[in-house]
Amino acid sequence: MFVAEPHRRKGLARAMVRFAIDHPELADVRRWVLATRDAHPVYAGLGFGPLTNPDHLMEFRREAAR
């Protein structure tokens, strides 16, 4: 998700994430992962924290693969 600059710091991102994790059709999702540069405290308030096993994850970046 992306919140345009004029609308930031109004709680929109937090509200959208809250909506998603509380949505009844997504109740079976066991693990949510998000990436943020600078909003860790925003999402920590929703229960997000550091990855339990970060060494289990990998990433692919197209620019690095060339």
Q: In the chain, what are the domain boundaries? A: 5-65
Neighbours of 28 (CB within 10 A): 6
Tens digits of per-residue pLDDT, 16-64?
999 999 999 999 999 999 999 888 998 999 999 999 999 999 988 888 6
Enter the pTM of the model: 0.74
Report the alpha-carbon distance of residue 16 to residue 3 in Å, rounded.
10
How many C-beta atoms lie closer than 10 Å to residue 21's C-beta?
14
Q: How far apart are CA 20 and CA 29, in angstroms?
A: 10
What average pLDDT does the structure give for the chain? 91
